C-alpha cells in the first residue's frame, strides 16, 4: 500500500509562516489561493497584464500583483498557469526572483519532468496535485471536506520540502481526504498515459466507434447515443463505487457474459501493444515535445480535431437529446 497522509500528519503552521504566491487564477489557481487564504496563509495572486481573471480575484478579496512582483514578495511560488506557457512565465517573471531557501510549487509535473523548467539548486521543488478539477477542490474545502492530492519533491535543499508540501496540501483541504506521496516522474507519466489511453482518448474513441457501427448499420442515432454514450455514466458510477465486481453484480447475466467474451475482442493484444508504444512516447518526452510544438505553432491541428468532433453525428444528436433531459442539465 502507498503511504497516505492525513490532517494529523501535516503541520499547517509551516505554510502559515511562509509567503505564498499563486501564479494564475483559473481552475486550480482560484481554489488554491482562496482556500490557503481561508486557512490563514499569507497569499498574493500573480496575474499578467490584461488578465481576464484579475477582477474576479480582487472581488473575492485577494491582492493581485504581476507575476514578477508576486514571485519577488513570496518565498513559496505555486505555478498554476496552463502547462504549455509555464516555461515562458518562469523565464520572464519567476527565475530572477528566486532566492536560496525559496520553494517552487507545481500542480502537475510536466515542465519539471521534461526539463522545460530548470530550478536553481538552492530552491525546493515540490508538487501538490489535487486529483480533481479546481472547482471541486474549492467546493469540497468550503464544505469541510477535501479532494485527495498527490505530493512529490524533486529538489530538497532545505531538507523540509516534504513537510512544506504536506502543509500546503493541508491548507487546501487535501489531507482531509488523504494525500499520497509520488514523484514528478510517476505523476506526470501516469497522468498523461491515463488521460490519453483510457480516460479521454480511449473512451471517446470507443464511444465514437460504437456509435458509428450502430448508425452505419441503420439504427436510429438517438438509440445509438443512449447505448454508447448516455449509459456509460451509469456503468462508470457503479465501477467507481465498487469496482468491476459491483458493476457486474448490477447488470444482467446476459450483459455480464457479453462483457467477458466480447471485451477482449475489442481491446486486443494489438491495442495493448499500442498502449505500450504510447507509454514509451510519453516516457521519452516525444509526446510532450510534439504537444509544445503544436501549442506554440498556433494549435491548428488541435482546432481542426475539435471542429470535426463538434460536427459529428454523435454530438449533434446528443445536443438535441440533452435539451429534453432536464435531469442531465440539473446535475451539471
Ligand atoms: P487554467 O487554464 O484554468 O488557468 C489559467 C490561469 O492562468 C488563468 O487565470 C489565466 O489568466 C492565467 N494566465 C494565463 N497566462 C498567464 C501569464 N502569462 N501569467 C500569469 N497568469 C497567466 O489552468 P488550470 O487550473 O487548468 O491548470 C493549472 C495547472 O494545474 C496546470 O499545471 C495543470 O496541469 C494543473 N492541474 C489542473 C487541473 C484542473 O482541474 N484543471 C487538475 C490538476 C492539475 P486569464 O485567463 O485571466 O488570462
Ligand atoms: Mg492531465
Ligand atoms: Mg442495454
CB 167 within 8 A of CB 11: yes
The pLDDT of residue 329: 67
Residue 25, ligand 1, Cβ within 6 A: yes
**Ligand 1 pocket, mutate which of 22, 29, 49, 147 (most atoms under 8 A from CB):** 29
In the chain, what's the furthest Cα-to-Cα distance? 67
State if residue 322 touches ligand 1 by the CB under 6 angstroms criterion: no
The per-residue pLDDT for range 46-58, each reduced to its tens digit, is 999 999 999 999 9
Which residues are CB-neighbours of 7 under 8 A, at least 6 positions away?
Answer: 170, 175, 176
223 pLDDT above the threshold of 90: yes
Question: Residue whose CA is closest, atom 40 of ligand 1?
Answer: 133
Mean pLDDT for 128-142 is: 96
Distance from residue 225's CA to the centre of ligand 3 (Å): 12
Q: Of 128, 65, 67, 129, nearest to 98 (Cα)?
A: 67
Rounded-to-integer distance, Cα 161 and Cα 103, Å: 8
> Does residue 314 surpass a pLDDT of 90?
yes
Q: Which of 162, 182, 188, 198 is nearest to 272 (CA)?
A: 198
pTM of the predicted model as reported, rounded to 2 decimal places: 0.94
* Ligand 1 nearest atom to the CA of residue 89, by list position: 18
The reply to whether 30 belongs to the active site is no
Coil, strand or helix at 51: coil
C-beta 112 within 6 A of ligand 1: no
CB atoms within 10 A of CB 68: 19
Report the pLDDT averaged over residues 152-160. 98
Nearest CA to ligand 1 atom 35: 107
- Other C-beta atoms within 10 Å of 283: how many? 15
SS3 per residue for 134-167:
HHHHHHHHHCCCCCCEEEEEEECCCCCHHHHHHH
Q: Which of 30, 48, 108, 135 is catalytic?
A: 108
Using the mean position of ligand 3's atoms as its centre, give its distance from the Cα of residue 254 in Å. 10
Q: Would the CA dihedral through 183, 188, 194, 195 be positive or negative?
A: positive
* CA R_g for the chain: 22
User: pLDDT per residue over 75-116, tens digit each?
Assistant: 999 999 999 999 999 999 999 999 999 999 999 999 999 999
Q: Is the CB of 77 under 6 A from ligand 1?
A: no
Confidence check on the interface: ipTM exceeds 0.95, yes or no: yes
Q: Which ligand is nearest to the CA of 223?
A: 3
- Residues of the chain above pLDDT 70, percent: 99
Burial of residue 121, with CB atoms counted within 10 A of its CB: 0-12 exposed, 13-18 middle, 19 or more buried: exposed
pLDDT of residue 327: 74
Grouping H, G, I as helix, E, B as strand and the rest as coil, residue 285 is coil
- Give 292-305 as a DSSP string: HHHHHTTSHHHHHH
Q: How far apart are CA 16 and CA 37, in angstroms?
A: 9
Determine if ligand 1 sits within 6 Å of the CB of residue 48: yes
Regarding the beta carbon of 55 and ligand 1, being less than 6 Å apart is answered: no
Walk me through the domains of the chain, giving residue ranges and CATH numbers.
4-182 (3.40.50.720), 200-267+299-331 (no CATH)
Using alpha carbons, select from 105, 149, 111 the residue that is nearest to residue 126. Answer: 105
192 C-alpha to ligand 2 centroid (Å): 6
Q: Give pLDDT tens digits for 24-43.
A: 999 999 999 999 999 999 99
Helix orientation angle between 286-296 and 269-283, rounded to the nearest 10 degrees: 70
Amino acid at each position: 500500500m502507498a503511504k497516505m497522509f492525513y490532517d494529523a500528519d501535516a503541520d499547517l503552521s509551516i505554510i502559515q509562516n511562509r509567503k505564498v504566491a499563486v501564479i494564475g487564477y483559473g481552475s486550480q489557481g482560484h481554489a488554491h489561493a482562496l482556500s490557503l487564504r481561508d486557512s490563514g496563509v499569507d497569499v498574493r495572486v500573480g496575474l499578467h497584464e490584461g488578465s481576464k481573471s484579475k477582477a474576479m480575484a480582487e472581488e473575492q478579496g485577494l491582492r493581485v500583483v504581476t507575476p514578477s512582483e508576486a514571485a519577488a514578495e513570496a518565498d513559496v511560488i505555486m505555478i498554476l498557469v496552463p502547462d504549455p506557457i509555464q516555461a515562458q512565465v518562469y523565464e520572464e517573471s519567476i527565475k530572477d526572483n528566486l532566492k536560496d531557501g525559496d520553494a517552487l510549487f507545481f500542480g502537475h509535473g510536466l515542465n519539471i519532468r521534461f526539463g522545460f523548467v530548470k530550478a536553481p539548486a538552492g530552491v525546493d521543488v515540490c508538487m501538490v496535485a489535487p486529483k480533481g478539477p479546481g472547482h471541486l477542490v474549492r467546493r469540497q474545502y468550503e464544505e469541510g471536506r477535501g479532494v485527495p492530492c498527490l505530493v512529490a519533491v524533486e529538489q530538497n535543499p532545505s531538507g523540509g520540502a516534504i513537510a512544506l508540501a504536506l502543509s500546503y496540501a493541508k491548507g487546501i483541504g487535501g489531507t482531509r481526504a488523504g494525500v499520497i506521496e509520488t514523484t514528478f516522474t510517476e505523476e506526470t507519466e501516469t497522468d498523461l498515459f491515463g488521460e490519453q489511453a483510457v480516460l479521454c482518448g480511449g473512451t471517446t474513441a470507443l464511444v465514437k466507434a460504437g456509435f458509428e457501427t450502430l448508425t452505419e448499420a441503420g439504427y436510429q442515432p438517438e438509440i445509438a447515443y443512449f447505448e454508447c454514450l448516455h449509459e456509460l455514466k451509469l456503468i462508470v458510477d457503479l465501477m467507481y463505487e465498487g469496482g468491476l465486481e459491483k458493476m457486474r453484480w448490477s447488470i444482467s447475466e446476459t450483459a455480464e457474459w457479453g462483457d467477458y467474451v466480447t471485451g477482449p475482442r475489442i481491446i486486443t493484444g494489438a491495442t495493448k501493444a499500442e498502449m505500450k508504444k504510447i507509454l514509451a512516447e510519453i516516457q521519452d518526452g516525444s509526446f510532450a515535445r510534439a504537444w509544445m510544438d503544436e501549442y506554440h505553432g498556433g494549435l491548428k491541428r488541435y482546432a481542426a480535431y475539435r471542429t470535426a468532433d463538434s460536427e459529428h453525428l454523435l454530438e449533434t444528436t446528443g445536443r438535441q437529446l440533452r435539451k429534453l433531459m432536464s435531469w442531465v442539465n440539473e446535475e451539471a
